[in-house]
Structure 1
Amino acid sequence: MRPSIKGKILLLTILPLVLGGMALTWFNAINMQSDGQEKIKRFHLQLLADKNNALRLRTQIAFGAIEKFFQDAQPDNIGEQLHQRGEEFHRGIQKYYNLKSKQLNAEELKKAIIDYVKFYRYDDGRGYFWINDLKPRMIMHPIVSRLDGMDLSQYKDPNGVELFNEMVRVVKTQDSGLVRYQWLNSSTDKIEDKISYVFLFKPFNWILGTGEYKSILQAKYQVLAKETIAKLRYGKDGYFWINDYQANMIMHPIKPSLNGKNMAGLKDSQGVYFMQEFVKLAKTKGEGFVNYSWPKPGVEGERPKLSYIKSFEPWAWIIGTGIYIDDIDLLVAKERMAVEKGINRMVYENTGVGFLFCFFLLLLVYVFVNQTLNKPIQQMMCFLEDLTRGKLNIRLDIQTKDELGKMAGALNYFTGNLHRVMQDIQSSAEVLSSASSQLSATTTQIEQTTQGVKGGTQEAAQAMQLTIENISEIAGSISEINENLSHIQGNIALTQKGAEKGSDAILDIDATMQKITTNSEEVIEIMDVINDIINQTKMLSTNAAIEAARAGEFGKGFAVVADEVGKLAESSKGASSKISRTVKSSAHNVEEGARVTKKTEQALNEIMGQIGGIAQQVEKVAQHMVLQNQQMQEMDQASEKIIEISESNVTAMVELSSAMQQVDSTTGELNQMALRLQQHVKRFEL
């Protein structure tokens, strides 16, 4: 069985996805393994770095303590300590002098002071004071008694320093001070550097002094340094040791039995001579780390250990400390297990997610291929199969914008055109069949009709002769109508002139009305003035009556006159009121007359407009009558031509009858062709 297009497309789509997913999963697994190893390596290095930093910092603390002791052993610091001790002794002997000076005479007091100094000791009996004077002459030396009484002014040390003259100079200039020189050390029986502090004992002008050998002070501070370092601890079992550049153990706090032994041949189970490595690092780099194995307390056998050493060159010491790093291996192992577990989990998760992604992607691809490729192709196959069976009334329902959509559109367009063509052919065949039948019947009818037309044409020619005679009579009637229209136009012109004169008269009447209205308004104004005069006259008569009443008998005649004037004013006011009402009534009537005149003028204007319209219509009728007369003449000429044509139509009818017989024969053949065409078209479903 050959694979379908759907299967090929799915195979070409799925296979790369599956292979790509597998390759991506494998690549991610490799990368995660590499990242995991790198993470473990960084974790291991970080643990070591933390250990290294811790060792370095802790060693620096011990190193700082040794530096402090070394600084204390320096001459300047030693001199300060001697100064403090000398001043303390100075205060003590001064008190003793003050006490004994009240009990003893001068010689006894000197002897008491000498004895006090001679037997005075400090630092477990190693420290002492001596006395010499300003000459200088030794008065008392508690250790080297042979110097007592000797003149020391010419005494020099191996370096040529006149130490006793220097002591005299110091106390004379500043009462006390330090003097550096070399002197025999009775403990080692060697000439060694020494520092002395001297001060002036003023009661006897004696110089009292004490000193210390530099080697003794340095050894003292080295002992203090070793004791201090031996006590330093950190963590559960952290400690420091000290060895020299010959791999001799100077101090080991855990195994004191190693102190003083040479450790150069000491090696661990792996064959590492770690003490030699310590010395090599100290000499070349001054500090560094060494990995080796060493027994761990509470555990059998050796365990890996990391030590950090740093050299202290002034004393030729190597200070070191170390920590067991077997816990690093355990931590790294745990970290490796955690990382591997995480990697495996991530690989499984990524693989699962990848398979799920591929599954859903494959599902989407399947749906996509089925919907966008397979389904349209299946539709096209069914469509083409139906098309081969003659079904032209079907369409492809594919709406995509890709090539399949364009192909479906093209097939639909082709099928639609083919459907329309077949419908046209079917319609044409039906029409042709029907037309051939009708044409056959029509030819028979035409042949019959031609015979009738032939006779009718002859009768028409006779009728046209009568029509020509009637047209001549109508032309005479139209001429009479034209003459009557001319008379009507004359009368209309006279009517228009009369209407214009009436309009002018109306205008004159309207002007007269306006004048009457103006005069009436003036009369009303005059009457208003008369009314004012009458009112004033009444007021005067009233005032006159009042004055006559005041005059008594002398004003009676004047009162009669005033009363008559009042009556006359009252009657004048009545007459004036009547005149005003009459004038106002006349003005109102004039206004009504003006409105009527306006309406009459408008009516005349409308009549004139209508008369003008009638005149225009009469003129148009006259023009139409002229045209009608011309058309009658043309109809007369046309009728004569129709008679000639009718005579030629009779001849044509004879020829048409012969042609119809030939058409009838051809129509039979067309009918047979239409029947065959219909049979072919019926094979298609339209």
Structure 2
Amino acid sequence: MGIGVRLTMIVVATVVGMVVIAALGLVNARDSLMEERRIKTREVVELATSIAAAAEARVRSGELTAEAAKTQALDRIREMRYAGDNYFWINDLDGVLLMHPHRAKAIGTSVLGLKDAAGQLMYVSFLDVARRNGGGFVEYLGRRPGTDINAAKLSYVQTFKPWGWVIGTGIYIDDVEAEFRARSLVVGGLVGGVVLLIALGAIVVARGIIRPLRHLASGMESVAAGDHQIVIGHERDRSEIGHLARALASFRDSLAEMSRLRDDNDRAAHDAQSARRAAVLGIADDLESAVGGVIGRLSGQAGEMETTAEALAVTAQKSASRAADVAQAAEDSSVSVGAVAASAEQLSASIGEIGRQVTRATDVSGQAVDEARTSSDLVAGLSGSVDRIGTVVSLINDIAAQTNLLALNATIEAARAGEAGKGFAVVAGEVKQLATQTAKATEEISGQIATIQAEAKHAAASIQTILGTIDSVNDIATAIAAAVEQQGAAAAEIARAVQTASRSTEAVTANVVNLRHDAEETDQAAAALRGGAGRVTVEAAGLNQAVGALLARIRE
């Protein structure tokens, strides 16, 4: 952005500021004029209201009647004028006109329907302000008396509450607008004159600055192009332009001196470059000799590394293969040990079951011994009972023999007695018969008792044999139980040993698997080492080529 544009912006900003200030001043002046009119209008209405208040006071004091006081107040206010021909009017709160100097025909009638030229119901507005605030201003259009001209008018109304009156007056405010326009023209003329002076001053200042600056700019371009003999001008000026011209002249001289020094430096640099090139060529020869030897040794070591890596890879592959064989063998051994462990566990379980069965057999044989002994005791008791029964049967047999003998004797005696002994003979015969039957029965019982006694003896002998057998079985079962217990302990020990062997086999398998993984990783590391050695060889060759190219460029 040029200096001329910036000066123009300053002038424009100044003009705009002045116009804004002038406009604000005019607006304040108009507001002041309107406020003066408002104050004047309110004061004259308050004066008319004071006349009505004085009349009302005389009514309260008894000097006048209310009607006389109202009439007197209306007459006095009707005659009042101010600022020329400005007047007052009075209406009540119902909109009935009580007094108006120019509306004599409307007195006593409602004026609520009267409108101004803009259609505003003037008296309705007066009553609204009076009822709402007790008084206030109303603006409307009023016709000037004796003309058909409608002009802006400002009225002030105030309520006189004791009588219910609304006292008002109005002034035309178009003269305020006329005065405002007159002041606006004056202020506008002044602002225009000032703006013109500022513009002329800005033009003069711009020309006094821009032309020398353009001349200095042209001189600076010539100096930048290499013209160190140009005349700057304006060097004797005492303003800022003179300071700038003298600074530019000093800059021109400094550039001329720098140009001379640059030529000297170029010559010295050329000489130094020639010497440096010779030194660089010597360093390049030394570098080629040293780097060539290093690259040769590096290539040899890389070859040895590659050979070692291949041997390491072969060894790792063999180790991995052997580790795989050992792992398979260890896995087979682990499976066999597992099978043996399972068999040992089954054997231990079978031995335990045999031990439980033998123990149960021992318990049963013991119960059998007890039952056999009880049976032997019962058989011995039965033999004693049978012997006692035999004794009783022998006694019964003796009694039957005696009874038979007695019956025989009785029969003999009955026969001797003749008819008198027939009845007794019959009884004796029956007794004899009963004794005979008893003898037969006792004989049969004796036979049965003999048989029972023989069987009881045979049973007692058998029970004794059974007791001996059961005791032998019990002894054998006890020995078997002891042997089974020893075999169970041995089987458990075998199972524990087999489990230990199984865990050891698993550990061996895991270690062999780890060994195989280590061998595979060794193979991978050997492959990486072989690849790295190859890359080192390639990089050494590339380095040799790069160094050769660098030395060729240095020697150019």
- Alignment TM-score, normalising by the size of structure 1: 0.33
More helix as a share of residues: 2
- Alignment TM-score, normalising by the size of structure 2: 0.41
Compare relative contact order (CA 8 Å, sep 6+) and give the higher one, 1 or 2: 2
